[in-house]
Structure 1
Amino acid sequence: MVSILIVEDNELSRDMLSRRLRRRGFDVLTAADAEIGMDIAHRERPSIILMDMSLPRIDGWEATRRLKANELTRAIPIIALTAHAMAGDRESALGAGCDDYDTKPVELPRLLAKIERLLGTA
């Protein structure tokens, strides 16, 4: 089964997205901050990570850099999720090591297409 780790500090957003993905048949893991998310990623090795970029303490940019620098988690695709849709944000996310980028609020069909493409299940 495909497992998705959602790293999102907003409880409502995290719960809503996890419910929608579970209804689509995914096994969903959640983390409220980057430290917990990185720990889960190392321990569980999810199929893909949805990373909020505006996290407290360690932000999503730094968490992504750390995950991509670690041999155990380097190959896990990461999709940056951000409410910031400013010029250059996509390039910054890709530069930090994210494999794709999506904006919030999440449009589920668009996000699912990105997940399927990254996992080779499209």
Structure 2
Amino acid sequence: MRHIAEAAESWIAPIAARALAAGLGERIGHELHAMLAAHRASPSGNVWRNRAGGQPGFVFNPSAYLDEAGGFDFAALGHDVQLAVTALTLAAPPSTGCGWVLPISICSWRGWGWLTTRRRRGIWR
């Protein structure tokens, strides 16, 4: 059985290579591994399988953003959401001129919440 980091490398490596080619630096691969290892977030099945079909997404674990004092680390969540959006854009880039909806799920004690971001003409809203 493969270790989770080895399995994750199959979807992280192509994203990291595209980030490097786009001039976004070398850190995205390390940051994605760290986010996954800390159980803060995980990509959808299509991203894990490197499938272009379907709608890519990430599921976030809010309890992973609590500190020892019970406070919520909003800055870390914001960083991870930005990292996920960048990774998803690199994993499944939209066709030029088209907009698409990017689902990012947040699992909480109250059930599922949806944070939806729209991309139109290269601008995130």
Using the size of structure 1 for normalisation, the TM-score is: 0.37
Q: Which has the larger radius of gyration?
A: 2
